[in-house]
């Protein structure tokens, strides 16, 4: 049999011991079968002389036929074994998804990942489950982790952006309620550097108004009140128009009694936050320079914080993890 290639036949698959792969006399093919399957008709064999100086060693009698091998030359290589585990792209997407949930609340950043995630899931059957599991864990950690401890602002610097007017805007020295102050945003994207003339009112219990506004609104949990406050914001300067509040910052109430920060979803309620709020401030309404946004912001907080003189309202900027604070 000197100078002959292995004859065309079914041989044990080098990448899967439980299956056989067809050798067409010159190379491995993509056709495989289970070892116990009846033999199908062999594929057409290629014609042409074998490479010179190579000899095929037949399998020993009584033993399963091994993969074709050469004497004096390299063994012919079948297709590489299937790759297992997640691809690098999948791992990167999961990491970005987790960051989006933790730092941006998942509002905007996840949208940019959807197209790529769908494509990756089509190519990697493990990706969709891994991606969903990672996002669920991050969401639970971000939304159910309880109230955030509040920095005491002892450095005396304005937080979250620059403020002009009375007070630097820290927890210890807040901007006053009901006073109009021009705020320059230190954030990301088109809104960075924009200037908003802002007025924030003192929080009050608006639970009765919310219950009267919609029959599907639910009462707050025991020991919790729906704290609402009026907001008016006029866009004075912007590098690009129109702009909205969007995901640039989150409204918070900093509890004076509990020394914790509360946003819309820190306290779990039946109405998903406060529910339907009369004349609610819309974070995604857009305005051009000279345009004004106004309405009521509502945050569920512990009842003991509402009347506490140290309770504050804050604009929490996600990009810099800092705050501009209002108080009495």
- The tokens of 165 are what? 């007017």
pLDDT at res. 157: 36
- List, for residues 248-303, the tens digit of each pLDDT value: 889 999 999 999 999 998 999 998 899 999 999 999 999 999 999 999 999 999 99
pTM score > 0.85 for this model? Answer: no
Rounded distance between C-alpha atoms, residue 46 and residue 70, angstroms: 18
pLDDT at res. 190: 86
- List, for residues 154-183, the tens digit of each pLDDT value: 333 343 454 443 457 999 999 999 999 999
pLDDT at 53 over 60: no
- List, for residues 54-63, the tens digit of each pLDDT value: 444 444 444 4
Q: How far apart are the first and last CA of the chain?
A: 99
pLDDT at 42 over 80: no
Rounded distance between C-alpha atoms, residue 79 and residue 29, angstroms: 8
Rounded distance between C-alpha atoms, residue 70 and residue 49, angstroms: 15
More confident call, 61 vs 29: 29
Rounded distance between C-alpha atoms, residue 183 and residue 181, angstroms: 6
pLDDT at res. 226: 96
pLDDT at res. 36: 76
- List, for residues 184-213, the tens digit of each pLDDT value: 998 878 888 999 999 999 999 999 999 999
pLDDT at 2 over 60: no
Q: Which pLDDT band, with edges at 50, 70 and 90, does 35 fall under?
A: confident
- List, for residues 86-117, the tens digit of each pLDDT value: 455 555 555 555 455 444 444 444 444 445 45
- The tokens of 303 are what? 């009842």
Those residues whose C-beta lies under 8 Å from the C-beta of residue 154, and which sit 6 or more positions away, are 172
């Amino acid at each position: 049999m000197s100078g002959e290639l292995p004859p065309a036949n079914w041989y044990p698959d080098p990448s899967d011991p439980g299956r056989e792969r067809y050798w067409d006399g010159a190379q491995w093919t993509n056709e495989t079968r289970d070892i116990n399957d009846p033999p199908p008709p062999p594929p057409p064999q290629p014609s042409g002389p074998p490479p010179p100086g190579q000899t095929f060693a037949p399998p020993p009698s009584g033993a399963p036929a091994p993969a074709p091998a050469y004497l004096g030359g390299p063994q012919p290589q079948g297709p590489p074994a299937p790759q297992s585990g997640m691809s690098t792209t999948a791992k990167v997407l999961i990491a970005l998804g987790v960051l989006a949930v933790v730092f941006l609340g998942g509002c905007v950043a996840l949208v940019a990942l959807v197209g790529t995630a769908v494509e990756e899931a089509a190519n990697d059957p493990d990706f969709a489950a891994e991606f969903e599991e990672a996002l669920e864990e991050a969401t639970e950690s971000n939304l159910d982790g309880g109230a955030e401890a509040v920095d005491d602002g002892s450095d005396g610097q304005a937080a979250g952006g620059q403020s002009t007017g009375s007070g630097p805007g820290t927890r210890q020295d807040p901007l006053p309620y009901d006073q109009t102050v021009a705020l320059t945003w230190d954030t990301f994207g088109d809104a960075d550097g924009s200037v908003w003339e802002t007025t924030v009112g003192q929080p009050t219990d608006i639970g009765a108004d919310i219950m009267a506004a919609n029959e599907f609104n639910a009462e707050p949990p025991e020991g919790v009140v729906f704290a609402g406050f009026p907001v008016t914001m006029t866009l004075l300067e912007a590098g690009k128009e129109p702009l909205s509040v969007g995901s640039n910052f989150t409204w918070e109430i900093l509890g004076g009694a509990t020394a914790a920060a509360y946003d819309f979803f820190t306290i779990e309620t039946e109405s998903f936050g406060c529910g339907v709020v009369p004349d609610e401030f819309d974070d995604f309404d857009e305005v051009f320079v000279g345009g004004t946004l106004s309405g009521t912001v509502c945050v569920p907080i512990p009842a003991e914080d509402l009347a506490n003189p140290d309770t504050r309202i804050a604009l929490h900027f996600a990009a810099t993890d800092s705050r501009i604070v209002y108080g009495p």
